């Protein structure tokens, strides 16, 4: 059990490290592609990669299980990323970064209401407050507060739907399905629901740009790493740790981002950003410590893949 918990923490950490560095690839790709073009392409690449890794078909026990995959694809791929990208067109990136980071709060509330064994205590909210304070310091370091009701609301909705996705993923983990196959099915529905949005948004890619080595490398990093690999590792972490314990790792995304900025882009680390990183880390440890002592409730555990 201890080994299982450790592997869950390691897979969650690996996921966050990759997700925290995707901004570099996205920043480069935005010179030649729109956000929706990047988004659609990365998930198509991820979907194809998962087919190649595990080409066999998934067999569901009953039709009811299909609705969980439909919901997970709609929330975790289509709605979450479209809401996040559209929010960025109406409000500051720092606003979106902070608001998205409250996703663990919604995950915790939904888990408390709908899942067994995901009980909350006061220290979870203390950890949440510390982490959000740190993320505020990181995101607004050197910038001014600028509220945008529409953009901020869209970012908040993105955080809510990620919370729903986390709960659906936890339920899917009970189906005794291979994690790669489960993630692939989620991607299928996410891409399927994304297609109508392509006609409404700015989807007119310059196909020749895909062949440029810089663009191709960054698209492969987002598709193979941030999409195919990370969604599988995130879902594995949810299986092993639960929805709430895994979700609090989201607090580390801004920490990884500011660290990568310093190491790769040579952006300066300021005292405020360092203090913010310390607070975000403290919030993670406080929340994790609380959740690890929650009362155990019998739970159906499928065989791990």
Rg (CA), the chain: 19
Listed residue (4, 25, 24, 38) closest to 194, CA to CA: 38
Q: What is the pLDDT of residues 41-100, one digit of tens each?
A: 999 999 999 999 999 999 888 889 999 999 999 999 999 999 988 888 888 777 788 888
Written as six digits, the tokens of 26 are 């996205």
pTM to 2 decimal places: 0.86
The torsion angles phi and psi of 222, rounded to 5 degrees, stand at -70, -40
In sequence order, the 6+-apart residues with CB closer than 8 A to the CB of 109 are 163
pLDDT above 90: percentage of residues in the chain = 52
Written as six digits, the tokens of 234 are 């995130």
- Measured CA angle at 257 (ends 7, 133), to 5 deg: 90
Listed residue (156, 19, 161, 189) closest to 80, CA to CA: 161
Q: What is the pLDDT of residues 276-301, one digit of tens each?
A: 889 998 998 888 765 544 433 333 33
Alpha-carbon torsion, ordered 79, 81, 82, 86, to 10 deg? 130
Domain boundaries, the chain: 2-121+146-242
Contact predicate 15/230, CB 8 Å: yes
pLDDT at residue 193 in the model: 96
Q: What is the pLDDT of residues 129-187, one digit of tens each?
A: 999 998 888 877 655 556 678 888 999 999 999 999 999 999 999 998 999 999 999 99
Region 232-259: what's the mean pLDDT?
Answer: 91
Please report how the helices 271-291 and 253-264 are oriented relative to each other, as an axis angle in degrees rounded to 10.
140
Contact predicate 131/284, CB 8 Å: yes
Region 192-208: what's the mean pLDDT?
Answer: 90
Contact predicate 271/141, CB 8 Å: no
């Amino acid at each position: 059990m201890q080994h299982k918990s450790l592997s869950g923490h390691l897979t969650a950490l690996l996921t966050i490290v990759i997700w925290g560095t995707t901004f570099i690839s996205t920043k480069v790709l935005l010179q030649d592609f729109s956000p929706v073009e990047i988004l659609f392409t990365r998930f198509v690449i991820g979907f194809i990669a998962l087919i190649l890794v595990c080409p066999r078909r998934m067999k569901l026990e009953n039709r009811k299980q299909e609705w969980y995959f439909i919901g997970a694809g709609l929330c975790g791929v289509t709605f979450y990323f479209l809401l996040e990208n559209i929010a960025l067109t109406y409000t500051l990136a720092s606003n979106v970064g902070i608001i998205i980071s409250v996703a663990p709060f919604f995950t915790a509330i939904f888990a408390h209401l709908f899942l067994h064994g995901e009980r909350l205590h006061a220290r979870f909210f203390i950890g949440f407050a510390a982490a959000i304070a740190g993320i505020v310091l990181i995101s607004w370091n050197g910038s001014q507060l600028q509220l945008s009701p529409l953009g901020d609301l869209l970012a908040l909705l993105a955080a809510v739907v990620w919370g729903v996705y986390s709960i659906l993923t936890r339920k899917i983990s009970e189906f005794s399905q291979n994690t790669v196959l489960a993630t692939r099915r989620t991607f299928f529905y996410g891409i399927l629901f994304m297609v109508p949005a392509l006609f409404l948004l700015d989807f007119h890619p310059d196909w020749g740009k895909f062949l440029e080595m810089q663009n191709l490398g960054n698209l492969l990093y987002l598709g193979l790493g941030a999409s195919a690999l990370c969604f599988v590792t995130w879902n594995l972490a949810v299986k092993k740790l639960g929805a709430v314990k895994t979700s609090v790792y989201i607090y580390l995304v801004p920490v990884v981002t500011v660290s990568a900025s310093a190491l790769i882009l040579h952006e300066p680390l300021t005292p405020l950003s360092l203090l913010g990183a310390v607070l975000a880390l403290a919030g993670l440890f406080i929340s994790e410590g609380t959740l690890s002592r929650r009362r155990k409730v019998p739970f159906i555990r499928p065989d791990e893949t």
